[in-house]
Each structure stands twice: as C-alpha cells, then as structure tokens.
Copies of this chain bind each other. A is one copy, B any other.
Amino acid sequence: MSGPKDFNQICPIPIGQYPQVTLAHGGGGKLMHQLIERMFTPAFSNPLLSARHDGATFSVNGARLAFTTDSYVVSPLFFPGGDIGLLAVNGTVNDLAMCGARPLYLSAGFILEEGLPMETLWSVVKSMRCAADEARVQLVTGDTKVVDKGKGDGIFINTAGVGVIEHDLSISPASVRPGDVVLLSGDLGRHGIAIMAEREGLAFESAIESDCAPLGDLVMRLIDSKIEILCMRDLTRGGLASALVEIAEAAKVQIRIDENSIPVREDVRGACEILGFDPLYLANEGRFVAFIADSDADRALDILRSHPLGEGSCLIGKVTNDSSPAVVMRSRIGAMRIVDMLSGEQLPRIC
C-alpha cells in the first residue's frame, strides 16, 4: 500500500483483535510497533519515514538537517530527578543527537487541563528553560491549548526539534553491518524505577533518581573525534531490548549481547525484583547504544567514559552475520536466549 489511492481499504490493524486503542499501543513494545508499521508508515509512506530512525534527516538548500518530535504525557508530572519539562527538552534533544545532529532549536506545544495550578505550569516552564540552557538549544516557537477539566491530565507537552548534521556519516539502522560493536553509555533502568516508585508511593533506602540528561554533547564528542558511528538509539520506552530488536529488524542483522556486561545498579536491580520488571525493558532518559566500527571501539569507549554522562560506558555486544534478524543474549548464568519486544504494557505513561 502506498498512498491515498488505497485509502478506501479497511483499517490495517486487525479490528477483531484490537477494535480500540490500548495503553500498550503507546508502550514501545509489539503493539506500538504494529501500529507504526501497519498504519502510520504505509499511510504517510515516504522514504524518510521508512528509515525507522529517531527522526528524519534531509537537506534543504545544501544544509543537512534532522527533524524529530515527541509528546510527553508522563505521570506524575514531577518525579525524583526531573519533571515533564526536563523530559520534554532532553527527550527531543536526545532524538536529534541520535540522528548525529547538533540540536539547535525546539518548539513547545502545551496541552493544559483547565484547573491546572498556575504555579505548576510555572515550575515546568522554568525547568524547560534550564534544560534548554544546559543542552544549548533555544525554544523558539510554541503553542498553548487548554482542554476542559477531565479531558486531559494536568500538562501534556509536545516538543519538536531541528538540528544540523555537520559530518558525512550515514547514521541509520540500515548502516549497521556484521562485525560492528554495540556500546552502551551507562547503567540501565533508573528512569523507569523513579517513575514507578513515585507513582506507587514506594520508598527505597536511597531515592532512585531518573537518569534524564541531554546527550548532544556526548554524541558530538564521538563525531568530532571521527569515530565511525553506524547507528545510535536512546533507550526510552521499551528500553534496551526494544531498541536492539528494532535495529536488528531494520538492519536485518543478528545482535549478540552479554547480560553480564550490562550495568544495572544494585538498588535498581532490587526494585526490579520487587516490582517484577526486567531492566532490559525499563525506560531510560539519558542512556543510548551506539553501533561502532570494531576498529574504533576502544577509542569510542575512552571518549564516552571521559564525559560525566558516559562514565559507565561499556561494550555489551556485537553484530554477527548469523542467518535470521534477532537479538540473542547470553544470560548471567550462561544460557543463550532470544530477546523480544514486550507484547503487553509494562509501564504506561513513563515519558
């Protein structure tokens, strides 16, 4: 299917199975994937969207640009280590960085619920400004809508971002090749646990704070050092597992990772055991994986580790030329297992 000429056809999502949108359709797992692959990508069919990247990249009058968007509906609005405003700025900054772009300009679209305390809005706005300063981007255009009480949930924020690409790398899932190594920029799971703890009123010995942070600077250091980057992906909804499965499918490669090499803080691991979560699927807001040419692996790790946001970087796996696209993990006890996307919804409204 490739455009309006086919638009009289029936809804491409199996209605018998999913007559209605469920929370899992926004959860970063299999159902969201299905919605994107079967409905959005064919309906809006164009090569840029089909690249299945964190954003679109294109040239305008000789300037190479990246363009991306995300809406933020996190609940609660404030959580240990951040708030929806910080998330809305860093999330879009990070998507631009994942395209290999230097983040420049953001837009902000607010959907406010009638009755929202004005002080709450002000706190979020201040947080966005501070985050923009830290990430060295400017919020240059915006929009505000208000919906009736009971038709929203305090604040939803959409940010879109424009960045500039100033190198010749082709950073995209399609560039990943057998032999490339997989680097992870630090420990997993803090954002997801911070949100869940706040939501459920759980108290841990020491507060687990979100890892929310802007990754532009860290990525620019890799690029400026001429590291051969094939692909990058930040590990938000769906976590490390979903990001790797998406890339394996898009690049048609097998990715082998080693669970022992994946850093998870002890308190996060403990919280996961109590709550029944797998850190591989938890959302992060300041972590990414980079697919790097094997020959550049050590140098890339040195660069990442020399930055405060990449101190815990490590090599977690390798791309192989095994037959079928998949992610295969050697578990902590040495068994091999296929890593799949989540089928249901683990943590709704995590970002």
Contacts and interface: CB of A to CB of B under 8 A. Distances in A.
A139 B109 contact: no
B20 A118 contact: yes
A70 B144 CA distance: 8
A266 to B, nearest CB: 32
A150 interface: yes
Q: Which of A23, A36, A130 has the most CB of B within 10 A?
A: A23
Interface string A56-78: 10101111110111111101000
Question: Is chain A's interface secondary structure helix, strand, loop, or mixed overall?
Answer: mixed
B164 A40 contact: no
A105 B108 CA distance: 17
Interface stretch (A120-128, A197-205, A240-248): A120-128
A4 B126 CA distance: 7
Interface residues of A, number: 91
A309 interface: no
Given A39-B122, A158-B158, 9 more contacts: A4-B126, A26-B112, A26-B145, A44-B138, A49-B138, A49-B141, A56-B107, A67-B141, A111-B156
Interface of A: 3-4, 7, 11-13, 15, 18-27, 32, 35-36, 39-40, 43-44, 46, 48-49, 55-56, 58, 60-65, 67-73, 75, 104-105, 107-119, 121-122, 125-126, 128-130, 132-133, 138-148, 150-153, 156, 158, 160, 162, 164, 166, 348-349
